[in-house]
Amino acid sequence: MLASSAKIVQGYTPETDPRRVLLFNPPVYDTRFPWSHWQQPVTLLKLATLLRSSGCDVRLIDALYRRPDEKLTRRRIEVLTRGEVSINYWRFGQLRFELNTQLNGWQREGWQPDEVYLEGFTTFWWRGINEAISLVGEKFPDARIILCSAYPSLATEHAVIHSGADIIVVGAIEGLSGLPLDLSLYPTCPLFSYLSIATGTGSSGDLVNEFLAKANTKNEQERVRQFAFADHDVIHKYPEQFRTLLKAIIDRKLRISLYALGNIYPHDLVDDPELASLLFRAGFKQLVFADDRDMPLTEEAREEQLESYHYAIEHCVNAGYRWRTEALVGSVCIGRPDEQLEDIAAFITKVAHVTGSIIVVPYQPSPNECASDLPLEHQNGKLFPFAEYNGKSYRTYQDLLGLAAVLNAKYRSHTFDFLGDGLIPHLVRSSIVSKSWDPRNTPGIQNDRPVIAGWFNKEGKWVRS
């Protein structure tokens, strides 16, 4: 079908007549894929629950799936340039011939889908979607292809022209709110699962039952031991359901691991001082706090955020969390228009001082924020499209990422506190300011002589690098 004949549908309602349906989570084209472990096609897995309950024959291809002992495959596609910096551009996921082999197998057995759903998780991953639709179109030309999620909703015109889908879904698919994720379509049970409270209209009991079905099953091969909530601002939006589930975990003494991946704010723990203890006892192994992208770029807002972090971390440490480890992670968003990098660098350093660990999250703009002539794949937040607008280079933003890496440096299993009150932090700060760490700036040393670097080995001998 020609892309120009694609139909745009607002609030799409899936047909539930018994039929054959393929769910396809496409490969990812990106410069980096740091959260690949937590990538799961939530919309498709909810859709599987809905369609299978109506008697549909549903199959899944997740190009990002890998077994526990496997690494995610990546292949370099090209090299991008930002100023004087070269950046590798990768394709992540199962190779094209592997996906093709799976489709060929179904074709040989006589199974072909009536409909194919694809989830476009974000706009700048559109090339993987185009590849997946092209593969499906070659094997099953009569199948109706439906594209949903963020890409068609935020870049509708681009999706109509470039995706190859027959139906472009703008907004959420109707009827999926509150449905559990169907993990049975995978060859082996995934290591983790998202939990979705969704609109909050479902009962707390339904959420607990969904969780117990995954975490407390007697079949060890089907048991899930790691969970994260898919809902943004989960504590504020769904306080009753969230706490009910945590109390159920505690009461049943379930040995599972929960992770907060940017959907808990530090002020949540300030507003409810007992919440930190509840999170710890329920099995939250890591709290990656939500970043500050929705806050104004003012000193007052940053000071307020630091104060919230201070009390939140204090509550967490009192609850049993180990400070200055990966258990507690502050987050700062960088790359927003009109930001001053000097202020952001200072804020990152202060957050790392309070929380102990830091994640710097690139700001992801929507297409209407970017210049109209900027290709969609270059609107990737990791490429910092507003760098020049802010009077900085891409390399400068790379240096800011490097600062975060230094602040996360470990000393005896804990991160080093560069703003600490001890003698060593004081000496380090003095060394940085005076540049006394650089032999070329030390009096008495000839600046034109080469610097010899190395280390002492286990036998105490100096080894030149």
Each residue of 258-283: pLDDT tens digit? Answer: 999 999 999 999 999 999 999 999 99
Q: 321 and 456 share a domain?
A: yes
pLDDT tens-digit map of 388-402:
999 999 999 999 999
Least confident of 360-369, 380-389, 442-451: 442-451
Please give the pLDDT value at position 191.
Answer: 84
Number of domains in the chain: 2
Q: Is 281 helix (H, G, I), strand (E, B) or coil?
A: helix
Q: What pLDDT, in 10s, does the model give residues 295-336?
A: 999 999 999 999 999 999 999 999 999 999 999 999 999 999
Distances (CA, A) of 312 to 175, 283, 300, 315, 355: 37, 17, 18, 5, 9
In a domain, 341, yes or no: yes
Indicate left, alpha or beta for 391 from its phi (over 0: left) and psi (-120 to 50: alpha). left
Residue in 393, 458, 141 with CA at minimum distance from that of residue 385: 393
| Same-domain pairing of 426 and 328 | yes
Q: What is the pLDDT of residue 447?
A: 47
Question: How confident is the model over 444-448, as a mean pLDDT?
Answer: 48
- Residue 334 near residue 363, CB atoms below 8 Å: yes
Residue 20: inside a domain, yes or no?
Answer: yes
Q: Tell me, yes or no, whether 293 and 425 share the same domain.
A: yes
Tell me, what's the pLDDT at 207?
Answer: 79
Question: What CATH code is carried by the domain that includes residue 114?
Answer: 3.40.50.280
Q: Is 235 helix (H, G, I), strand (E, B) or coil?
A: helix
pLDDT (tens digit, 9 = 90+) per residue, 23-55?
999 999 999 998 888 999 999 999 999 999 999
Kindly state whether residues 170 and 62 are assigned to the same domain. yes
Residue holding tokens 């509840």? Answer: 278
pLDDT at 444 over 60: no
Averaged over 431-440, what is the pLDDT? Answer: 54
- Verify that 1 and 119 share a domain, yes or no: yes
Paired tokens of 444: 């008495």
Q: Describe the chain by its helix, strand, coil percentages, rounded to 5.
A: 40, 20, 40
Mean pLDDT of 8-28: 95
Contact present, 395 and 83 (Cβ < 8 Å): yes
Cα–Cα distance, 93 to 95 (Å, whole number): 6
Query: How much is the pLDDT for 463?
Result: 55
What pLDDT, on a 0 to 100 scale, did the predictor assign at position 462? 53
Per-residue pLDDT of 188-244, as tens digits, reads: 988 899 988 865 455 677 778 888 888 887 787 788 989 999 999 999 999 988 999
Query: What's residue 200's pLDDT?
Result: 46
My answer on whether 154 and 303 are in the same domain is no
Beta strands in 246-327 (DSSP E): 257-261, 284-288
Question: Packing angle between helix 204-215 and helix 239-252, nearest 10 degrees?
Answer: 40
- Separate counts of helices (H) and strands (E) for the chain: 14, 19
Pairwise CA distance, residues 27 & 131, whole Å: 8
Q: Which candidate, 275, 276, 266, 204, places its Cα nearest to that of 233?
A: 266
Residue 302 lies in a domain: yes
Do the domain assignments include residue 88?
A: yes
Using DSSP's 3-state secondary structure scheme, residue 30 falls into strand
**Dist. CA 356–CA 51, nearest whole Å:** 45
pLDDT at 177 over 60: yes
Q: Are 206 and 212 in contact (CB under 8 A)?
A: no
Q: Which helix (H) or strand (E) segment is 463 a member of?
A: strand 462-464
Q: Which of 302-316, 336-350, 368-382, 450-464 has the lowest mean pLDDT?
A: 450-464
* Interatomic CA distance for residues 37 and 239, integer angstroms: 27
Whether residues 271 and 161 fall in one domain? no
pLDDT band per the 50, 70, 90 thresholds, residue 413: confident
Q: What is the mean pLDDT of residues 8-16?
A: 92
Give the bridge partners for 411, in sequence order: 414
The residues with which 288 forms a beta bridge, in sequence order, are 261, 329
Residues 170 and 23 both lie in one domain: yes
Please report whether residue 4 resides in a domain.
Answer: yes
Cα–Cα distance, 224 to 256 (Å, whole number): 8
**177 and 272 belong to one structural domain:** no
Which of 139, 154, 183 corresponds to the end of one domain?
A: 183
Q: Is residue 335 part of a domain?
A: yes
CA 143 → CA 114, 128, 181, 284, distances in Å?
A: 5, 19, 24, 43
Query: Is pLDDT at 442 greater than 80 in this prediction?
Result: no
Residue 39 belongs to a domain: yes
- Examine the domain organization and report whether 280 and 423 are in the same domain: yes
Q: Does residue 67 or residue 424 have the better pLDDT?
A: 67
The pLDDT value given to residue 423: 65
For residues 214 and 183, what is the distance between their CA atoms, to the nearest angstrom? 9
Domain check: are 159 and 276 in the same one?
no
pLDDT at site 1: 40
Reduced to 3 states (helix: H, G, I; strand: E, B; else coil), residue 98 is helix
Alpha-carbon span 417 to 305, nearest angstrom: 19
Please say which residue of 156, 183, 210 terminates a domain: 183
Is 259 domain-assigned?
A: no
How many CB atoms lie under 10 A from the CB of residue 53? 11
Mean pLDDT for 339-361 is 94
Are 289 and 160 members of one domain? no
The pLDDT mean for the chain works out to 88
Residue 458: what pLDDT? Answer: 45
* pLDDT at position 420: 78
Domain that holds residue 287: 264-465
Domain end point (choices 183, 198, 227): 183
Confidence (pLDDT) at 432: 59
Of 58-72, 80-94, 261-275, 444-458, the one with minimum mean pLDDT is 444-458
